[in-house]
Amino acid sequence: MGVVERKEREKKARRQAILDAARECFFRDGFETTTISRIADTVELSTGTLYLYYKNKEEIYVSILEEGLDILYALMKGSERPGAAARDLLVGYSEAYFRFYIDYGQYFDVMFFLRRPDKKILLEGELKGKLEQKSLECLGLLESAVKKGIAEGDFRIVSPYEASRVLWGTMNGLMLLHEKRTEEITRQKLPRLIEVAVSLLLDGIRAKKG
Per-residue HEC secondary structure of 10-73 comes to HHHHHHHHHHHHHHHHHHHHCCCCCCHHHHHHHHCCCHHHHCCCCCCHHHHHHHHHHHHHHHHH
Which of 10, 18, 12 is CA-nearest to residue 43?
18
Question: What secondary structure letter does DSSP report for 141?
Answer: H
CA 108 to chain centre: 6
pLDDT digits (tens, 9 = 90+) for 158-202: 999 999 999 999 999 888 877 765 555 555 688 888 999 999 999
3-state secondary structure of 126: helix
Q: pLDDT by residue for the chain (210 residues), tens digit each?
A: 677 788 888 888 999 999 999 988 988 888 888 899 999 999 999 999 999 999 888 889 888 888 999 999 999 999 999 999 999 999 999 999 999 999 998 888 877 765 554 455 555 567 677 778 888 999 999 999 999 999 999 999 999 999 999 999 999 988 887 776 555 555 568 888 899 999 999 999 999 875
DSSP characters over 155-172: B-S--HHHHHHHHHHHHH
pLDDT at res. 181 = 59
**Does the pTM exceed 0.85?**
no
Rounded Cα–Cα distance for residues 37 and 34 (Å): 8
Structural domains of the chain, ranges and CATH numbers in brackets: 1-54 (1.10.10.60), 61-204 (1.10.357.10)
pLDDT at res. 13 = 92
User: Which residues is 193 bridged to in the sheet?
Assistant: none
- Which residues neighbour 198 within 8 Å (Cβ) at sequence distance 6 or greater? 90, 91, 94, 167, 170, 171
